[in-house]
Every structure is written in C-alpha cells, then in structure tokens.
Amino acid sequence: MLQSERLQTFAALGKFLRSANAQSELAEIAQHAYYRNNWFTPDNSFNALYAIADEFLSIDKLTAWASQYPAEPKESRTVGVVMAGNIPAVGFHDLLCVLVSGHRLLAKLSTQDFVLIHYLIQKLKEINPAFDDRIEEAERLNAADAYIATGSNNTARYFEHYFGKKPNIIRKNRTSVGLLMGEEDEEEFQKLGHDISNYYGLGCRNVSTLLVPAGPNSRNSGAEPYDFTPLLRTLEPNAQTFLNNHKYQNNYDYNKSVYLINAVPHYDNGYLLLTENDGLVSPISVVYYQTYQTQDEALNWLETHANRIQVVTSAQGWLPGSVPFGQTQRPGLNDYADGVDTMAFLTAL
C-alpha cells in the first residue's frame, strides 16, 4: 500500500466523521464511551472527534504534512504504541503517524479510552481492508521493533526499563501554561476558559498554571495584586455544566474544602478555584497562578520549565511560539507531543 492510498484512507475517515449520515452512529459510540468512562461525556467525545476530522483528516492537510518526510520507510517495522487515555481519542495522532509513515501498528489501548480508539480502528479497516494487516490491538508489545509510550512520570520509568533497548519515544507528565498581559477582554477570557476546562482539564494541553502580571515592585511595595474578577465572572456561567458531572463536582468540593480548612487563600467562582502555587500540575477544578514583574521574567520562567510544559498560550498568540487562547485542544498535524517529531522518529527507523 503506497502512502497516497494511506492518506486517502484517512481523508475518507475524516469525510465520514463530518458527514450527516455518521451522526447517529457517532452518538451511539459516544454514549458507549461515556458508560465506560464518565469523564468522556458525549459532548467531549464529539468535540474530540470533530477536532480530529477538522485538524488532521483533510487530504490537503495530510498531503502537506506528509510531504515533509520520506513517503515510504526503508523497511516496514512493527511499532508498539502504549496509548494514553486521559481525554477522548488522545492516542489517535500516534496511530496516524505510525500508519502514514508506512509501518505496522501494534497498539495497547488505554482502558479509559478503549471505545473511541477501537471504533476508529475498525472504521479505518472498514474503509480500507488492507489496513487489517497493518493494525493489531494487543495487551503485550514484545513483538515490536520500536516503541512510543505515553504515561505518567512513574510509568515512564517502567517504559524505559522494558522498552529502552529498542528505538523509542517515552513521554512523561506535561501541562500547559497561560500567559496574561493584563489587557485581555471578555472574549479572550472565554477562549482561555476552553483551554482551562475543556475535557475537565484532564489533558496535558489544558492550562493548569497562569502567569499574571504584578504591579511594579509589588513584592516589596504592597501594590494591588492581579484582579482575577473579570476572568472568574466571565467563566461563572459555565458552573452548572461542569457541576453536572459528579466526578468533577467531587473534585471541586474536595479541593474547596481543603483550602477552606487550611485557610489557603484562593479565588472561587462556583466551579473553578484559583490559588497561588509554584507547582505546575494543578488538581482537577483548580488552576495555579504565579506572578511576573517583566516580560523577560516571564520568558525566563517559561524557559526554566520548558521540559514540563506542553503548550504556552497567550491572547491572539502575542508571545512568539505560543498559541492563541482557545486553541490548545485543537493541535495540528505538526504539533507533536513533548515537541518530539514523531514522524521524523518513525521515518528514520
């Protein structure tokens, strides 16, 4: 199977996902995914599938992306992929990379995201039966020639132990950061709200830390702190949507109780908590914030923590290298996790 055929197959999948005829089938699959994992509401599953179709699966985008790499591998290999399952269909980009690069996929699906990824695999095979010999779902990946594994910092140690002797990409915990100038308007705050809370904040591309400006020499002068009221007030109408999910509400109630009992200063708009903390990965329903005096200080902070940050976002993408508010959960084909070019890795095997 030539790369052109592989690309056409994925483009056909995108066309199907966008079609009116697919919606009843997708609704059934999304409901099944929700029964299996209550974090995956039907709306979130639809959002993920539509983002995949729009950002990944048009023939123009696929062709332009694939043209940057060799069309065929030196030798077709079996690539074992341990897929993440924190947000709906999050492992699809790795699946796409392995197959477009001309290799065979040996996939260990996450139990948290089995339904959607399994469905997409079956749909690919239905569109092009030749993929049946190129995709295998498995519990053990011993037969693979190379590995791509995504997990926590703890599981990464196991991955390095088991997969370290063969070519590999091993990903650890990362999170995303929002950089505020202090001049953002309500529309920008609405967009930032999506970066914070889409998929309940479970993704590595969700903003869990905000960098906000402080007044001149505020650490010494007692100047007024950053005013979070406009941001929290803008997002407040979203409260009921999130609190309707019992898993999210349990996290919100727990974290709020901890802050109240321990007298931790924080802001609260009824579903989202903000607190000053020098950590990067905040609990569900919580966003950390830190202050900066100058733009250079903010840039130095981002550079210091670069190996733990997936995405930086700013209003209209004003910071070079950042993405505009509202776009963190809509990555393009070239937006590789951890900044490691998956296709370059695969085409070099």
Which residue, among 321, 346, 348, 314, has the nearest Cα to 335 in the 3D structure?
Answer: 321
Q: Is the pLDDT of residue 222 over 60?
A: no
Q: How far apart are CA 186 and CA 191, in angstroms?
A: 9
146 and 181 within one domain: no
Task: Indicate whether 245 and 219 sit together in one domain.
Answer: yes
Query: Would residue 289 count as lying in a domain?
Result: yes
Residues 198, 158 within the same domain: no
Q: Which residues are CB-contacts of 82 (< 8 A; sequence separation ≥ 6)?
A: 108, 141, 147, 148, 149, 150, 151, 159
Domain count for the chain, please give it.
Answer: 2
Average pLDDT over residues 238-263: 97
Domain end: 173, 190, 217, which one? Answer: 173
- Residue 118 belongs to domain spanning: 3-173
Same domain, 127 and 267: no
Q: List the alpha helices (DSSP H) in 246-315.
A: 246-261, 295-304
- Whether residues 190 and 244 share a domain: the answer is yes
Kindly provide the b/e burial profile for residues 79-103, where b requires at least 16 CB atoms within 10 angstroms of the residue's own CB. bbbbbbbbbbbbbbbbbbbbbbbbb
pLDDT of residue 35: 97
Name the H helices within 217-245: 218-221, 229-235, 239-243
Q: pLDDT confidence of 215, banded at 50, 70, 90? A: low
**Stated pTM of the model:** 0.93
Band the pLDDT of 217: cuts 50, 70, 90.
Answer: very low
CATH of the domain at 134: 3.40.605.10
User: Which of 173, 192, 213 marks a domain boundary?
Assistant: 173
Condensed to tens digits (0 to 9), the pLDDT of residues 146-187 reads 999 998 888 888 889 889 899 999 998 999 999 999 989 999
Of the pLDDT bands very low, low, confident and very high (cuts 50, 70, 90), residue 29 is very high
> Residue 216 has what pLDDT?
52
Q: What is the CATH number of the domain that holds 223?
A: 3.40.309
In-domain check, residue 65: yes
20 and 152 fall within a common domain: yes
Q: Can you tell me the mean pLDDT for 218-235?
A: 76
Q: Which of 173, 206, 226 is the last residue in one of the domains?
A: 173
Q: Tell me, yes or no, whether 187 and 153 share the same domain.
A: no
Residue 74, judged by CB atoms within 10 A of its CB (0-12, 13-18, 19+), counts as exposed
Mean of pLDDT values over 194-213: 96
- Structure confidence at residue 220 (pLDDT): 40
Q: What is the pLDDT of residue 64?
A: 98
User: Residue 221: pLDDT band by 50, 70, 90 thresholds?
Assistant: very low
Distances (CA, A) of 72 to 130, 133, 215, 220, 312: 16, 17, 56, 61, 34
Residues 229 and 272 in one domain: yes
Q: Give 294: exposed, middle or buried? Use CB within 10 Å, 0-12, 13-18, 19+.
A: exposed
CA dist 68 and 71 (Å) reads 9
Distance of CA 155 to CAs 82, 90, 257, 311, Å?
Answer: 11, 17, 30, 22
Residue with tokens 């179709």: 53
pLDDT in tens, 85-116: 999 999 999 999 999 999 999 999 999 999 99
What six digits make up the tokens of 160? 């390095």
